[in-house]
Amino acid sequence: MTGYFHRIARDSWAVCKGMWVTLRTLVKPSITVQYPTEKLTPEPMFRGVLLYDVERCTACGLCAKACPSNCISLQNQVNEAGKRAPKAAWYAIDLGRCSWCRLCEESCPFKPKVVWHSIDYELVFWSRDEMVRCWKPGTPLAGWVHDPKKDAFRDPSGQVVIQEVPARHDEKGPKHD
Binding site residues, another protein, CB under 8 A: 10-11, 14-15, 17-23, 25-26, 28-34, 36-47, 62, 66-69, 99-103, 106-107, 117, 119, 161, 163-166, 171, 173-174, 177
* DSSP track, 62-91: HHHHH-TT--EEEEEEE-TTS-EEEEEEEE
Q: Are 118 and 48 in contact (CB under 8 A)?
A: yes
Q: Where are the alpha helices (DSSP H) in 31-154?
A: 62-66, 103-107
The least CB distance from residue 127 to another protein, in Å, is 22
The least CB distance from residue 19 to another protein, in Å, is 5
DSSP label of 171:
T
Nearer to another protein, 29 or 82 (CB): 29
Nearer to another protein, 34 or 149 (CB): 34
Nearer to another protein, 106 or 129 (CB): 106
Cα 148 to Cα 45, 129, 130: the distances in Å are 34, 7, 9
The size of the chain, in residues, is 177
Q: Residue 116: which of 60, 53, 59 has the closest Cα?
A: 53
The least CB distance from residue 26 to another protein, in Å, is 5
Say how far apart CA 156 and CA 122 lie, in whole Å. Answer: 12
The least CB distance from residue 170 to another protein, in Å, is 12
Nearer to another protein, 32 or 150 (CB): 32
Nearer to another protein, 18 or 148 (CB): 18
The least CB distance from residue 160 to another protein, in Å, is 13
